Amino acid sequence: MSTDQVEYYKEAYALFDADHNGCIDVQELGEVMRSCGMDPTEDEVRTMIASVDADNTGTIDFDEFLVMMEDFRGETRIHYTEEKLCEAFQAMDFDNNGLITASDLINVAKSHGDEMSEKEALELMKEGDADGDGVINFEDFCKVNSQL
């Protein structure tokens, strides 16, 4: 897993640890995965947690999260369809203009009960803006997600 991938997952982990307790539970993990364009059932999420929950807490810490995401991505890579990417993109495109902006990212965070500063949003934009035009279009989004 590359440094960029670890940073991406770290940001996703922090964003969706809704109660900020340092662990992600079944509900929070499901939200994280759906935001990444995946569509796991609740049973799949519970099974994933159990498979990496080394300390048997019923939740996962960041190290366990990395192991789980790597395993899940490897198993489902062939099922990561354009339709799922489109759904994830549309969920992040708050103003429905076909582009993801820093403002959209801030709104996504708010919709999940979290806050994101403009600086954090701009940093994420830099990572996702493959063509450097200051916004994330669907092509950029697909390029970034294919590298995860």
Q: Which residues of the chain are under the pLDDT cut of 50?
A: 76-79
SS percent in the chain: helix, strand, coil, step 5: 65, 5, 35
Structure pTM? 0.48
Output the six-digit token pair for 113: 């009960």
43 and 27 within one domain: yes
**How many domains would you assign to the chain?**
2
Closest CA to 5 of 60, 53, 69, 57: 69
**CA 88/CA 141 separation, integer angstroms:** 9
Residues whose CB falls within 8 Å of the CB of residue 1, separated by 6 or more in sequence, listed in order? 66, 70
45 and 93 within one domain: no
56 and 91 within one domain: no
Please report the pLDDT score of residue 98 as a whole number.
Answer: 92
**CA 84/CA 80 separation, integer angstroms:** 6
95 and 48 within one domain: no
pLDDT in tens, 65-89: 888 777 766 654 444 567 777 888 8
**CA 146/CA 144 separation, integer angstroms:** 6
